[in-house]
A and B are shown apart, each in its own frame.
Chain A
């Protein structure tokens, strides 16, 4: 790898410097190593902390904690299935929507946009990631939820009420609103990473497609998208990880009602929202420990998703990262 050649040339500087390494060099490396150790320590500490503090919960709740549906803090009966379901339903739906939209934006930015539009659109999509979660939540409660209730949920309920997907009573607060808010929040991740992955497709691929007489869309379909595919999948999985971990915006619009239902209008609950809503009020130590175990499950899920996504993106970009500053 090229980076290694460069590193070797750096090391020559050490040798040419002669003698033993200077005191400054040793000190500087010591400080750097200290910082890196701290960062690794945070990560290990995080895992250890969560595992240790969730042990009482694990001892009391056992494995059935993962697949039972009763959440009754008063009698200390805990099952997280509805929360797991809510997290998965909202995050996966948001990922699918954001991928469709995000790949469109990425193709627009790299392949179609006139120069005057590319920069501002790129900037605006990245800015979506800069809006704080609570502001999305506020907007979700007071603007989006009422709008969706009147213009989307009610008509769907009136005309297609028989379809299980639209069977719930349209109240605005629930899975649908959470999915829309989450889609907006996940979009910058998917769009920015896809953009960089698509930009990394060699120009010769495009030229080859054009030389075969391809139209512009055919060029994207046969030259760009297959080349960028695993990177785009990586981008959407990164979006999934973000969606799974997103907390307050979802907590504010989802309705805090644990339920396993296919109806999009029904209020629901997610693991992150559960922790946010109940941790400060958890009175018994078992209750608290259980919420920390929910956190541990959430952590492991995001960890797994992130690892898969990073590996996919790295494969395409050759070890370099993709995405903007904020992603």
Chain B
């Protein structure tokens, strides 16, 4: 392999030059790792330092007030996020898990490759496009923006990730476990439901939780589906607010109060997401196996 790249063989260069080059490249690699970690620390630092001072009880108990009035909060966004993320998860998870089971346990050869590939394609669709899709599919026929449209958009975004994780976690269950079950005369479907899936459950749950954390932070697919709402609403057929939507609105606006609340809302959102991820990490050790 080396002869082909046109470089002289290793021994032809002086040992000193080689050592210096080795040192230099190793230092560069260390620097790359340090630089890569830096943005996370910076974002977390600013979210914490800007968000904490703006964090007060009224944030969770009040809705947005007209500009100029003191106080106000993001209750509609918190309630809305919980409803739409919850609903999206309920809709998306069963479809995703069943698809993952099909790919790993039943699809043979070519079918598995094709479905796996299509799941990857779906995972690559930009979330704003999913918003456009649901807009055409749900919002236009219904005649107005609604929470149910938002939840559906989030479900579509959840599906590929969970399907993929289910597929990968099932692959980790040794085949001998399945055969032991067959040997006892248990049919295939019962083997999958009662033996294989329970064995992979930890990993699947981890995947679902991380995906839920991800859709909780999505604003783009909600822009033309849930739209946003400045009063607390629980009606599924009406527009609904969400944390990321509120952050987007407030960050783009000109008012200082809005910016403060955007930081506070970010703190709530990021705190939630990181808690989920950290909990999963500690509970089940390494979730991603490749």
Binding site for B on A (CB under 8 A): 1, 3-4, 6-7, 9-10, 12-14, 16-17, 22, 24-25, 27-29, 31-36, 38-40, 42-43, 45-46, 49-50, 52-53, 100-105, 107-109, 111-113, 121, 123-128, 130-139, 141-143, 184, 187, 191-192, 196, 199, 212-218, 220, 222-223, 226, 238, 241-242, 244-248, 252, 272, 275-276, 279-280, 292, 295, 298-299, 302-303, 305-307, 310, 317, 319-326
Contacts and interface: CB of A to CB of B under 8 A. Distances in A.
B80 to A, nearest CB: 15
A272 to B, nearest CB: 5
A292 B30 contact: no
Given A134-B219, A303-B121, A323-B290, A39 B126 contact: no
A108 B30 contact: yes
Given A131-B273, A132-B270, A295-B132, 10 more contacts: A42-B159, A104-B28, A132-B247, A136-B43, A138-B251, A142-B251, A215-B19, A215-B21, A307-B121, A326-B214
B274 interface: yes
A218 B109 CA distance: 39
A223 B25 CA distance: 15
Main secondary structure of the interface of B (DSSP, over half): helix
A131 B269 CA distance: 9
B99 A36 contact: yes
Interface string B79-105: 000000000000000111011011101
16 contacts: A4-B108, A9-B175, A22-B189, A29-B189, A108-B32, A125-B40, A131-B217, A135-B247, A142-B50, A217-B25, A222-B5, A252-B252, A299-B125, A303-B121, A319-B113, A325-B288
A49 B124 contact: no
B66 interface: no
B245 to A, nearest CB: 8
Contacts of B133: 45-46, 49-50
Contacts of B94: 35
A104 B214 contact: no
Nearest to A28: B189
Contacts of B220: 133, 247-248, 272, 276
Contacts of A139: 42-43, 46-47
| 10 closest cross-chain pairs (CB), A and B | A104-B32, A132-B217, A245-B126, A35-B98, A306-B124, A28-B189, A215-B22, A13-B182, A108-B33, A217-B25
B67 interface: no
Contacts, number: 317
Given A13-B188, A25-B188, A137-B251, A42 B108 contact: no
Contacts of A127: 40, 274, 277
Contacts of B26: 112, 216-217
Nearest to A1: B109
B98 A24 contact: no
Contacts of B164: 321
A303 B117 CA distance: 12
B290 A317 contact: yes
Given A215-B19, A325-B210, A222 B126 contact: no
Nearest to A183: B39
Given A36-B115, A215-B18, A216-B26, A113 B33 contact: yes
Interface of B: 1-2, 5, 10-11, 18-19, 21-22, 25-26, 28-33, 35-37, 39-43, 46-47, 50, 94-96, 98-99, 101-103, 105-106, 108-109, 112-113, 115-122, 124-130, 132-133, 135-137, 156, 159, 161, 163-165, 168, 175, 178-179, 182, 185, 187-193, 206-207, 210-211, 213-214, 216-220, 223-224, 227, 244, 247-248, 251-252, 259, 262-263, 266, 269-270, 273-274, 277, 281, 287-288, 290
Contact of A132 (B105, B126, B218, B287): B218
B30 A246 contact: no
Nearest to A105: B36
A98 to B, nearest CB: 9
Given A121-B37, A321-B168, A292 B288 contact: no
B120 A306 contact: yes
Given A3-B112, A43-B121, A324 B25 contact: no
Given A127-B277, A128-B40, A295-B128, A36 B102 contact: yes
B36 A102 contact: yes
